[in-house]
Amino acid sequence: MGKPTGFIEYLRELPVDVSPLDRVSNWDEFHLPMPEEKLRVQAARCMDCGIPFCHTGKLINGMASGCPVNNLIPEWNDLVYRGFWREALERLLKTNNFPEFTGRVCPAPCEGSCTLGLIEPPVAIKTLEAAIIDKGWEEGWITPTSPEVRTGKKVAVVGSGPAGLACADQLNKAGHLVTVFERADRPGGLLLYGIPNMKLDKQKVVERRVRLMEAEGVEFKTGVEVGRNLDARRLLEDFSAVVLCAGATKPRDLPIVGREIPGVHFAMDFLTENTRSLLDHGTSGKTNPPIFARGKNVVVIGGGDTGTDCVGTSIRHGCQSVVQLEILPKPPLERAGNNPWPEWPKVYKMDYGQEEAAAKQGEDPRQYEVSAKRFLAGPDGQLAGVEITNIRWEKDAQGRFVPSEVEGTTRILPAELVLLAMGFLGPEDRLLESLGIERDARSNAKAEHEKYTTNIPGVFAAGDCRRGQSLVVWAINEGRGAAREVDRYLMGSTQLP
């Protein structure tokens, strides 16, 4: 695969980004296209390693190692290197329904387990994946393809995030009549409202894919919340099977003193309303979203992608300042001894939001090993600050690491807006309760991985509502897997991968 002397001759190179100070003036995607010749050079670095851990898709120490959808990475890298782009696209679409999503927002566990990464910077897999699918759209190679035969079986998919879309796409390919129910005003779920436009363009990328699926026969019903304005029992009566892909949307709260003070919001409410405002009124941002950061001191509590998105969005609003609080220690610059390859490398990096904040403020906005103690109100009753303290991690009597406060480090950060980005606890209760779905110990829908069957016959569960908060690529994996098992349930056998 690739050029026999590829990584010996060529260094890793990524697309150039629009500079942080320029890109924060708009909501456009900021990764500039890479010339085809440079892309072929990057593909040449994938040199027939013998054991391609990049596409293993395993969990090691609770984190993804390799591609969860088992992308045939060495194969399409070799095809790109040789200039066979259409064939590379065919290989890519064999395992991934939506490379235009993962090529933009996936953290690329494939690169973390790339064999080359043992001795050199890994192959630029994510860049090449995005380039292949984007070229497919540009060249007109991706067109609606409806199934030749319809089975007459009707399947309801609840939720139109990455798991729901992947499930619907696969079931439609198998010839079933698929209806996707989405409670929001537009299809896309997390892809549409949970990820900012500068990371994943809604109209050019997400809505384009939805339109293609509609042209292929998938029906989308928006503004319909099963269990609230549609009786869940109707689904069991009207459809041959039901697949729950509702996500894990119950946010983790921070019940400290002052939580009720106006100005403290969940991160996803902030991000959702911002994207809705952009879609309703255009990316000019002439109409402000309900939660607006302009002129405010913003404190983001929590790291991860959601926290980074809050930082980047606040910067674009024109905030006065932004600070991001991390309760965990600052990661090392290189892999620690207890984080060996092919595990996901837990190392320090600045994502796009931190880069932008640093460009505006002069330094990384993150403060590590810090905990919020209480929220403070000003004379007008509105949020005015956050009292924080440093913590250290120490082992308790059971050998578990627990945080303890460092005396003398309590201080107050000015804040007129606090965004809670501490992850999610599981799916919301209404849908699962309305169908009588059993829950596991973490409150997720109880359904075995690779089978996806719940305690209710004909009802399946996949994605974050089954496995808990996870990556977009894992959601696609589960949506595909659930479709396979639904097809087997309906037809007695299946040819879906």
The pLDDT tens digits of the residues spanning 254-270 come to 999 999 999 999 999 99
Is residue 193 within 8 A of residue 274, CB to CB? The reply is no
**427: exposed, middle or buried (C-beta count within 10 Å: 0-12, 13-18, 19+)?**
buried
Query: Shortest CA distance to 403 belongs to which of 297, 478, 497, 329?
Result: 329
For residue 3, the model assigns a pLDDT of 86
> How far apart, in whole angstroms, are the C-alpha atoms of residue 303 and residue 18?
24
Tell me whether strands 383-395 and 401-405 are parallel, antiparallel or unpaired: antiparallel
User: Which 3 state secondary structure label does DSSP give 339?
Assistant: coil
* Domains detected in the chain: 6-138 (1.10.1060.10), 154-250+425-491 (3.50.50.60), 253-422 (3.50.50.60)
For residue 128, the model assigns a pLDDT of 98
Which tens digit of pLDDT belongs to each residue from 181-195? 999 999 999 999 999
Is residue 427 within 8 A of residue 246, CB to CB? The reply is yes
For residue 286, the model assigns a pLDDT of 62
For residue 334, the model assigns a pLDDT of 94
Query: Shortest CA distance to 483 belongs to which of 153, 99, 109, 73?
Result: 153
pTM for this model (two decimals): 0.95
Interhelix angle 162-173/472-491, nearest 10 degrees: 40
For residue 288, the model assigns a pLDDT of 87
User: Which 3 state secondary structure label does DSSP give 359?
Assistant: helix
List the alpha helices (DSSP H) in 11-72: 20-23, 36-44
For residue 64, the model assigns a pLDDT of 82
> How far apart, in whole angstroms, are the C-alpha atoms of residue 354 and residue 475?
26
Chain centroid to CA 454: 25
> How far apart, in whole angstroms, are the C-alpha atoms of residue 479 and residue 191?
14
> How far apart, in whole angstroms, are the C-alpha atoms of residue 100 and residue 209?
9
> How far apart, in whole angstroms, are the C-alpha atoms of residue 282 and residue 325?
31
Enumerate residue ranges in the chain where pLDDT < 70: 1, 282-286
For residue 478, the model assigns a pLDDT of 98
Is residue 178 within 8 A of residue 171, CB to CB? The reply is yes
Sign of CA dihedral 306, 308, 310, 312: negative
